[in-house]
A = this chain, B = another copy of it.
Amino acid sequence: MINDVIGTVFYPRNVAVIGASESRDNMGKNIVQNLLDHHFQGEVFPVGPKGGSIFGLTVYPSVLDIPENIDFAAMITPARTVPDLVGQCGKKGAKVIYIATGGFREFNSENVDLETEILAQARRYDVRLIGPNCIGVINSEIGLCLPFSAIPPLKIGPVSILSQSGGVANSYLMHLFAENIGVNKWVSMGNKLDLEETDFIEYLLEDPWTQVICVHSEGLKMGKRLLELAQSSTKPIILHKVSRFGATAEVADSHTAAIANDDRLIDAICRQGPIVRAGTINEAVNYAKAFILPKLNGNRLAVVSRSGGHGVIATDFCVKYGFEMPPYNDEYLKRVEEFFRAKVVKTANPLDLGDLWNFESYWYILENAIKQDQFDGMLFVFAYNLVQQHELMVNTTIFLSELIRRYNKPIAFVLQGWKDRVDRLRESVSFPVFSEIDEAVKALATSRDFYRKKSMNT
């Protein structure tokens, strides 16, 4: 079963790091350091012909010298050495090998032979391969962190990432962490000589720690299987398929030996799946944020805005994305008006709180909006100077989580303010925060449409 293999990828008992040495620029050493820095819960065996020790760990001259059988090998050695080393790992019982090394098919068509040889060795010993030409695997749950460049402390969370490009995989990690959204599992797939998107997706659809799957791909081999997998589950898959044009396909081929896809075929698969298609990393992350929230069971939004101008903009996007904005209860609006200072702002949906300076009343206003039966969810836009009130904003954001639990309706929270204040708030809470109104509304609409389609297909 593929899920046993991928289980070993994410939860190996030990990792051999092949190509490690004490020298300053050694990349294998960086992998060992990442495993130690992130407190990997298994054993680490550095391997390199020069021997010695790294961070107090013995460097074994060969995989065969390791005193016990291995689960997982990370390999960063010259391309020509890889086939033999794969065989040696096979002999030591490795279930899976991640080959970081580049310079195969994507560099030179003659190197196809080298890839064939590697694959033959792998098949012979029943070892599965990740890569080559990739930067490895992360599983935040157990501190498994295999890229060969330094990764700062991981944030554990509900989003898992698959990426063909290592650079793009890194960008996803950096983007999600900047938003204070945790990553659960993360794979850079590179040339996909053996394991590819659908192998990992099959596992992640069953993984209880993964709530949303983002997939960056430069060329999909298994469109039909992807479609079947998507149809087998209600867990959202966000597909960021790049290399959309003929001119790009050539570039992608020399990057990860990616096969060319007809972009319309990809669209057709997404439509049927349903799979959410994202055009950029930023878009994929925004969709992921919406999918972390509870499902929107309808189409009617309560809009609350700190500023009238942002309320106008929110209305534009609610109309554009097909949301309804039913009126608030009269009684509720009367109560809200009592909180106002100058009493010169009309209340309606969107609710303009520009005249509200008693920020303590936000809790009352938010809860009594979301609980009204005519709303399926809420868009809360807080665009403000935010010079003080850090504590209050933190508590209000935590209260949003509580409201979501209490009423099981999504709240898309858009926050705009002076950068340092927004950053500080984001660091203090783990609630998904949107930067832009259009992005929040589009993400809510994408989530709505995904579940609508799912319910029609079942």
Contact = CB atoms under 8 A, between A and B. Distances in A.
Contact of A342 (B103, B245, B251, B385): B103
A344 interface: yes
A388 to B, nearest CB: 9
Contacts of A197: none
B308 A247 contact: no
User: Which of A252, A280, A312, A313 has the most chain B CB within a 10 Å cutoff?
Assistant: A312
Contact of A436 (B282, B310, B320, B346): B282
A346 B350 CA distance: 54
Contacts of A177: 418-419
A178 interface: yes
A166 B305 CA distance: 13
Nearest to A282: B436
Interface string A243-272: 111011001101110100000000000000
A112 interface: no
Interface of A: 25, 78-79, 101-103, 106-107, 149-152, 163-171, 174-175, 177-178, 216, 218, 242-245, 247-248, 251-252, 254-256, 258, 279-282, 306-313, 315-316, 319-320, 325, 342-346, 348, 350, 352, 354-355, 357, 383-385, 387, 416-419, 423, 435-438
20 contacts: A102-B354, A103-B345, A107-B344, A149-B387, A165-B307, A165-B308, A165-B310, A165-B312, A166-B309, A167-B309, A167-B310, A168-B313, A170-B384, A174-B416, A177-B418, A245-B315, A245-B319, A251-B315, A280-B313, A280-B436
